[in-house]
Structure 1
Amino acid sequence: MTPNLANFKYKTPIHIRFSDMDAFGHVNNAIYLTYFEIARGDYWTNIIEWDWDEMGIILGRSEIDYRKPITLNDTIVCYVRTSRVGNSSFDVEYILSKVVDDKEDICTTGKTVCISYDYKSNKSMPIPDKQRKKMIAYDEPRLIMNS
């Protein structure tokens, strides 16, 4: 399946560090999860306004599809969107692309299953209503499968 950038409203630049490189001169496969985490944190802070004092989030699953390598001198951005909202879990999708001649070339796609989590009671809890509404309103209800 070819990812569609038109389904994503939010993107953030990602700074590539020298320490991200592997012996072959491209970003190490494990670093992609860090890039997703950086973009996801920006998205939750700037768009969803997640209230970390009220509720935490844990990851239940991560998926990555590597399409093209990323190197130290590439300029990359990460697109983020909520694609499914359930009772206590929700899916977040990602596209990492590099900018080449003012065009974007998709390098990596991914998805995480995130779980609204109460650390005080040590269990999953329903997604706070305010954040649920923000996810759906921002990422368009027609694109989100509620379950």
Structure 2
Amino acid sequence: MRHLYRCPLRWADMDAYGHVNNVVFLRYLEEARIDFLFRPDKDFQQGSVVARHEIDYKRQLVHRHAPVDIELWVTEIRAASFTLAYEVKDPDQVYVRASTVIVPFDFEAGRPRRITAEEKEFLREYTDDGTAGARDAAGADRDGDEAVAA
């Protein structure tokens, strides 16, 4: 399963050419991550920190009044970290693909901590290998890039 966040675009997000600035995409990922992790029914109350970001810019996103969709899912769960993947997209094109490694953190003790059983159960609900709908029958990405064998 994937988490969907409808991210509003703001005037301050765009550069001089009317495109959403590349740095702003990191804020969009943060907004989606917060929407995913900090919900009243399930959340990481003890805190977490970002250990790593990877971002692959596919297309320019032109500023507009309509929100952009961010799909987020879990690709890996380890004892003391997990990886989230994202697609910033519209139904017909992908603007950004990204991933973030998150480390649960005990701020009182000032150190990383293990993922609790409850957190692991929550994360497993959103585990996805990232290929759901990502490739068409010809083996190309939805945005037209050729598939690369891993």
TM-score for both structures, normalised by structure 2: 0.79
Deviation of the 1:46 alpha carbon:
4.0
Q: Which residue of 2 aligns with 1:9?
A: 2
Which of residues 80, 103, 108 in structure 1 aligns to 2:72? Answer: 80
**C-alpha distance 50-97 of structure 1, shift in aligned 2 (>3 A):** same
Distance 2:63 2:71 in 1: 19
Deviation of the 1:44 alpha carbon:
1.2
- Tell me the C-alpha RMSD between the 2 structures: 2.0
Give 1:26's aligned amino acid.
H
Q: Is there any run of 5+ residues in structure 2 with no aligned partner, and where?
A: 131-150
Distance 1:89 1:81 in 2: 14
Matches within 5 A, 1:79-118: 79-98=71-90, 103-118=91-106
**C-alpha distance 36-130 of structure 1, shift in aligned 2 (>3 A):** same
Indicate if the aligned counterparts of 2:20 and 2:62 stay in contact, CA closer than 8 A: yes
Q: Which residue of 2 aligns with 1:30?
A: 23
Greater strand fraction, Structure 1 or Structure 2: 1
Instruction: Map Cα deviations across residues 35-76 of structure 1 (whole Å, 9 max, x no partner).
Output: 011111111134981142xx1100000011000011111541
Distance 1:28 1:20 in 2: 6
Q: Is there any run of 5+ residues in structure 1 with no aligned partner, and where?
A: 1-7
Greater helix fraction, Structure 1 or Structure 2: 1
Give 2:68's aligned amino acid.
I
TM-score for both structures, normalised by structure 1: 0.80
Runs ≥4 residues deviating over 2 A: 45-48
**C-alpha distance 107-63 of structure 1, shift in aligned 2 (>3 A):** same
Q: Which residue of 1 aligns with 2:138?
A: none
User: Larger deviation: 77-86 or 66-75?
Assistant: 66-75
Distance 2:44 2:93 in 1: 34
Q: Does 1:129 align with 2:117?
A: yes
**C-alpha distance 90-121 of structure 1, shift in aligned 2 (>3 A):** same
Among all aligned residue pairs of Structure 1 and Structure 2, give the percentage whose two residues are the same amino acid: 22
Indicate if the aligned counterparts of 2:37 and 2:44 stay in contact, CA closer than 8 A: no
